[in-house]
Structure 1
Amino acid sequence: MNQSVHFITLSTLDLNAARDFYVSGLGWTPLMDVPGEIVFFQIAPGTVLGLFEAGRFAADMEGGPEDARLGGVTLAHNVASPQEVDAVVDQALKAGARLVKSPARADFGGYHGHIADPNGVVWEVCHNPGWSVDEDGTVRLGPVEG
């Protein structure tokens, strides 16, 4: 199997709240939106984030409500500076996010904070000076100085 992920699909208890948060609050543009079912956003070259209504998510897996729960997952968004971390966290809070962890210096030498969208999906907003992406899309995780 090729080492890649093309779709990240998350169960969401309130699809309308999630859509409003990402579209109206954060300014994201849906790739496809099926009201009452799922909304997709392209989040990187060849990568899509899907927010799937919890009941339909469970039914799609032929499972029960316990199969629709989300646990132990964070999504991360890397930015260019600690100041940008603060700005993105502030924008998300104004759009209805819940503060999970205030932005602060991280053990790895960067700077990060955590917010949760209206459905509890936790996002880490991070400045990691050792992280970069080459023109061909290769991710580099280098040591952080200082």
Structure 2
Amino acid sequence: MLGRMEQQAHFITLSTPDLGAARAFYRDGLGWTPLLDVPGEIIFFQIAPGLVLGLFDTAKFVADLQGRPNDGRLGGLTLSQNVPTPTDVDATVKRAVEAGGRLVKSPQTAAFGGYHGHVADPNGVVWEICHNPGWRVDETGRVHLEPIADTP
């Protein structure tokens, strides 16, 4: 089909009003290693095969869009990471808060039957740190979401 866009993304770029605080949260709080760090402009983290998260200084983000200041605002967005155990949820949320994140929701049993907590990065981006035993990725990279027993 001509002109059809593949069902994939390679970059997720977030407008970042305080790049230094974001760097500390992701590097020190989440323990991530930057793929590329351009001080005062942008920092990239590879977050999956072929997928990069970019944190772009808001003023430069808006200029790149040739937009208006409101074009740099974020809203209605969560990012999520599945971790192996509920204990990992607790530890990751704690470390993220210690690195400048804001606790949004303390770790607890989730409505879907797993265990999760929510923490906002210094830009207000909310991360769900989750243990979902029904989630897995097979050897081809395909995601499988299985219902968890006793989930309403």
**What letter matches 2:53 in structure 1?**
L
Summarize the alignment of residues 43-122 of structure 1 with structure 2, pairs less than 5 Å apart: 43-122=47-126
Matches within 5 A, 1:15-30: 15-30=19-34
Relative to structure 2, which stretch is displaced further, 41-50 or 16-25? Answer: 16-25
Residues 93-129 of structure 1 show CA distances to partners (whole Å, capped at 9, x for unaligned) of: 1111110011111111111110011111110001111
Alignment-derived partner of residue 124 in structure 1: 128
Seq. identity, %? 68
The reply to whether residue 33 of structure 1 matches residue 37 of structure 2 is yes
Contact 2:30/2:92 (CA < 8 Å) preserved in 1? no
- Cα deviation for residue 33 of structure 1 reads 1.0
Task: Give the alignment's Cα RMSD to 1 decimal.
Answer: 1.0
Query: How much does 1:24 deviate?
Result: 2.8
Aligned equivalents of 1:83 and 1:126: distance in 2?
A: 10
Counterparts of 1:20 and 1:125, CA distance in 2? 18
**Structure 2 unmatched ranges of 5 or more:** none
Aligned structure 1 segments of 4 or more residues deviating by more than 2 angstroms: 24-27
Aligned match of 1:142:
146
Deviations 1:16-61 (A, max 9, x none): 1111222233321111111111100000111000000001111111
Where does the alignment leave 5 or more consecutive residues of structure 1 unmatched?
none
